Chain A
Amino acid sequence: MSAPWALTRKLILDSRWMLGLTAAALFWLSWLFVFVAARTEQAIREQIGENDPARTMRFLRGMGGGSMDFSTGAIEMAFWNHPMIILMFCVWAISRGTAAVAGEIDRGTLDMVLSRPITRTTYLLTQASWALFGLAVLGAALVAGNQLAHLRFVLNDPPGLRVVLRPAINLAAIGFAVYGYALFLGAVDIVRWRPIMIATVATLAGFILHVVANIPSLEEWKWMDKLSIFKAFNPVELVVKGDTFAFNTGILSGIGAVAIALALIVFNRRDLPTNS
């Protein structure tokens, strides 16, 4: 067996429960959001006394104006903006990012692994590949929950697989960006608590800036959004139009890739001390 595959097997063993439980939670949350969207649509239909779904949609869009969208996809995706969903991607990203170097130094096992014939680059890229695979699994769980729930619940205009993939990939890209800076922070440190703390604070601060910048009564603070990576995640827009998908996903992936490259540079040059 090759060294990267041996390391990957070890990573699966280390984090399979976390990944499995998080993916299961995302699957059922996604399912739940479809259920809630179906109930919401049903309530709207009952309120306006219409049984024609197409007419209902025209009415709702007309009522809300150009900036509003009450399509099924938009209602479903509004829930994907829930902090709990974003948090789960970020927790996976920070957990894996800080475990790669600082975590292994902290528990004293990096010596044993890197005294074997495996390059530091291979070691770190294997770690990053597993983390990326995990983000893909989380995104797939969201999509699967959504699409399978469409088979169960009656909706006016349920979004198809290709449409839902856009916000799922975008969300995974958010996780990739967070993973990138968590990995970098872990690659320069010798204890795990510090990169966890810094990455968590940075991520929460970004989220708070995004929330504050989007409060309608705080228009003058709109500039804060530019400081947050969460500006690059708008699932409703991605389902309704999808104009920002390529740009936002590219920016987020770029942040992640640059941070991983920096982590590689630092990790290849640094001393690896004992954990004592």
Chain B
Amino acid sequence: MSMIVTEGLSKRYRETAALSDLSLEIRPGEVFGLLGPNGSGKTTTIRLLLGLIRPSSGRATVSGYDCWRRSFEVRQLVSYLPGELRMFGALTGYGMLKFLSDLRGGEGLDRAAAIAEQVMKLDIDRKVRTYSTGMKQKLALAQAFADPVDILILDEPTSALDPSARNDVLKLVGAARAAGQTVIFSGHVLSEVEAVADRVAIMRRGRLMHIEDMHARRALRMLLARFADSVPGDWPAELELTLRRRVDEQTALFEHRGPVPALMAWLAALRVEEVAVGTEDLRALYDLYHGPNVDDAA
């Protein structure tokens, strides 16, 4: 059973479509990345899941609960880190954690304080108004990771953090997954999403463009080969080789997901002049939908 399901989920503001016909399923215990530029619909999706806004059409469920009609039950299962973080400046860091914990019946306060002090290195006796933006984000992250919930929704969780704190957050995401929590990780930093996500959804202008299985992607090898003769037209299916792009008559770029020995044997049987094997990061995939060569009107 999927933990989160959306079916034709849409949100319109008068003439503007903030989200159009989003259908996806997120499995229990997976880290699901949401990628896309500002205005692509990531935050709208998250706010719909939390029941903060009502869908114009379609529906979303979390653990079987309708996100709008049964929003209270949904929020019992979810902890949320807002992208635009505002806090009560008059409270101390500890006071803020206590307030947020008390809204959940007082659960998780000790763990939140421990994460804030020991992992995030925060002085939680200081007033929140004296915190920098990054420190506030760390405090909110401490609370999110401490909440005893099934689902974490993190909207740009590292946007204000220094590099070492970013690494700490990625480790905490990994720990959450290991503990069986489902994580939605929305962000702009491709390398971070790539590092932690099991699957990644790429969004553009309120539409879901592509979902990538990151485990399969990590197994992907890119093979650039120049043949003495022309590029071969076919090859054994067990190679799991796909022609990505023909560079010229003799040179081609392949995607390879199969066993390496079979590939090597196949190449050895051909007259190959040059060969390069590498991997492909998420950027290449992302650029298919948001790169400089993408038609804006598309």
Contacts and interface: CB of A to CB of B under 8 A. Distances in A.
Contacts of A83: none
Contacts of A108: 84-86
B54 A269 contact: yes
A10 interface: yes
A7 B84 contact: no
What interface size band does chain A fall in? Answer: 20 to 34
B136 to A, nearest CB: 11
A107 B52 contact: no
A51 interface: no
A274 B85 CA distance: 10
A24 interface: no
A116 B104 contact: yes
Interface stretch (B71-79, B178-186, B213-221, B263-271): B71-79
Interface string A108-143: 110111111111000000000000000000000000
Contact of A6 (B78, B79, B103): B103
A117 B86 contact: no
A3 B102 CA distance: 6
Given A1-B102, A117-B75, A276 B54 contact: no
B277 interface: no
A96 B54 CA distance: 27
Interface in A232-276: 269, 271-276
A187 B100 CA distance: 23
B235 interface: no
B53 A273 contact: yes
A272 B52 contact: yes
B50 A115 contact: yes
Contact of B52 (A5, A271, A275): A271
Interface string B78-121: 11101011111011000000011011111000000000000000
A119 B54 contact: no
A67 interface: no
A47 interface: no
16 contacts: A2-B105, A3-B104, A6-B99, A6-B102, A10-B99, A13-B90, A109-B86, A112-B85, A113-B103, A117-B75, A118-B103, A271-B52, A271-B54, A272-B53, A274-B43, A275-B86
